[in-house]
Amino acid sequence: MSTTERITGTALLDALERGSVRVAERGADGAWRVNGWVKEEILALFRASGVVAKGFECDAVLGNASAAPFRDKEPFDVRRWSTADGVRVVPGGSAVRRGAFVAPTCVLMPPCYVNVGAWVGAGTMVDSHALVGSCAQIGERVHVSAAAQIGGVLEPANARPVIVEDDCFVGGNCGVYEGVLLRRGAVLAAGTILASGTVVYDVVHQRELRGTREAPLEIPERAVVVPGSRPVPQKGPMDLWATHRGLHVACALIVKYRDEKTDRATALEDALR
């Protein structure tokens, strides 16, 4: 099914779960293109739906809607899994919302959450307390480590979601937001925060990487990124005041590109799968 064919309502949620439609796709030229109509239809479904009581048991069995443990927009249930899906969901409170694609051989550790419109590729692990936000695109064999936050976006419809390409490693307590793109094999050390306005200093190639909301930040293939800081730029009297006090603002540093040592340190353990 072509993603240019517009689908509406719960049929769209079904197509997203099958992977026959997705919010963003990588072209042969390496550029990512957003299917804005998909986000438009998800938003339309939210607007057209009421909030209802939900639970792990049928409301008719409960006999009292107020006894249901959750309340959400009617079409957006929590996904259920069968052996045929090939997804390993470890007990302990994880949830995948309707309209999210999770490929076979993925591992979801408790408690994690995958929101509507997201895509999670084969062999990826989403670790404990990690979030894959609405419409985020996660490639194959990615490790989203414990407490990492992959930001979501539904509005504006043409905005690029956060994209993490194949074989990336996102360390614990990282945050990736506002359409940032991690190219294949990139590594984020624990605690790295990336948003559209984050300045990244590539120490290896002696260059600065910047993004905007219109053209979000991109991290190069196989780059190893660590948290850093830089002095407050001196643009006016207030900045001079900050400089005199040794104040810094956050940034990120590319300190190397992946080598065999990095590959060993970030390898996904097949036995855990």
Q: What are the pLDDT digits (tens) for 232-265?
A: 877 776 677 888 888 899 999 999 999 998 888 8
Other CB atoms within a 10 A radius of the CB of residue 108 amount to 27
pLDDT for the residue 145? 98
Of 92, 80, 75, 102, the C-alpha closest to 18 is 102
Average pLDDT, the chain: 91
Whether residue 211 contacts residue 180, with contact meaning beta carbons closer than 8 Å, is answered with yes
The secondary structure of residue 20, as a DSSP letter, is S
**Of 123, 239, 139, the residue nearest 185 (C-alpha):** 139
Q: Is residue 255 part of a domain?
A: yes
pLDDT category, 5, cuts 50, 70, 90? Answer: confident
Domain containing 164 equals 9-268
What single letter denotes the amino acid at residue 6? R
Q: Rg (Cα) of the chain, in Å, rounded?
A: 20
Answer yes or no: is 273 within a domain: no
Is residue 213 within 8 Å of residue 196, measured between CB atoms?
yes
Q: In one letter, which amino acid is 68?
A: A
Report if residue 242 sits inside a domain. yes
Is the model more confident about 187 or about 157?
187
pTM given for the model: 0.91
The confidence band for 1, taking pLDDT boundaries of 50, 70 and 90, is very low
pLDDT value for 91: 95
3 assigned to some structural domain? no
Residue 2 lies in a domain: no
What's the confidence (pLDDT) of residue 271?
64
What pLDDT is stored for residue 235 in this prediction? 74
Q: What is the pLDDT of residue 56?
A: 56
Average pLDDT over residues 178-202: 97
Per-residue pLDDT at 127 exceeds 90 = yes
Number of structural domains (the chain) is: 1
Prior bond of 220 cis (ω within 30°) = no
How confident is residue 110, by pLDDT bands cut at 50, 70 and 90?
A: very high
In the predicted structure, residue 58 carries a pLDDT above the cut 50: no
Instruction: Please report the pLDDT score of residue 199 as a whole number.
Output: 96
Closest CA to 36 of 200, 148, 157, 128: 157
Region of residue 69 (left: phi > 0; alpha: psi -120 to 50; beta: else): alpha
Residue 4 belongs to a domain: no
In a domain, 1, yes or no: no
> Which CATH number goes with the domain that contains 37?
2.160.10.10
